């Protein structure tokens, strides 16, 4: 009986190792996809940032300090005196940082817009009786 129990424990451990190995491979494959997405995003962001930077500059006084600091950080990564840097000069680390800052900016500006505009929109809906 004792030997059967030990055999059962060993089989369970081997099964757990197999499961862990499969999950590790799945995680690794997902990370490769994430890197490919980050590379594409880095190129796209390099292309659009000069325009987006101008848009953020136009409303700089309306934005909070945290958003403005993130915009300045993106400017440092992608621009040199207001002109786009050569993409070859931007490190992969900086492209990753730029992508993260961009995602943060999208979320923050969307949240800010919602908080400021939603009450007015709901009041308008009430006034219209909808």
Mean pLDDT (whole number) for 54-72:
92
Residue 17 lies in a domain: no
Residue 13 lies in a domain: no
Residue 53 lies in a domain: yes
Please give the mean pLDDT across all residues of the chain. Answer: 84
Residue 9 lies in a domain: no
Report pLDDT for 130: 64
For the chain, count helices (H), then strands (E).
Answer: 3, 2
pTM of the prediction? 0.68
pLDDT band at 12 (very low <50, low <70, confident <90, very high): low
pLDDT digits (tens, 9 = 90+) for 21-57: 777 778 888 888 888 888 888 889 999 999 999 999 9
pLDDT at 7 over 70: no
Q: Among 119, 14, 109, which residue's Cα sits nearest to residue 52?
A: 109
Residue 114 lies in a domain: yes
Q: How many domains does the chain have?
A: 1
| Residue 63 lies in domain | 22-128
Residue 4 lies in a domain: no
Residue 98 lies in a domain: yes
Mapped onto helix, strand or coil, the DSSP state of residue 84 is strand
H helical segments located in 59-91: 65-78
């Amino acid at each position: 009986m004792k030997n059967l129990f030990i055999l059962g424990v060993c089989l369970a451990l081997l099964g757990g190792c197999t499961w862990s190995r499969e999950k590790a491979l799945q995680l690794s494959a997902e990370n490769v996809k994430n890197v490919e997405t980050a590379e594409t995003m880095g190129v796209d962001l390099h292309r659009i940032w000069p325009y987006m930077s101008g848009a953020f500059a136009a409303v700089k006084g309306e934005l909070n300090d945290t958003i403005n600091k993130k915009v300045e950080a993106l400017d440092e990564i992608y621009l040199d005196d207001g002109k786009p840097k050569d993409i070859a000069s931007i490190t992969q680390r900086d492209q990753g940082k730029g992508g993260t800052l961009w995602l943060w900016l999208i979320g923050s500006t969307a949240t800010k817009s919602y908080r400021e505009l939603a009450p007015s929109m709901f009041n308008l809906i009430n006034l219209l009786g909808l």
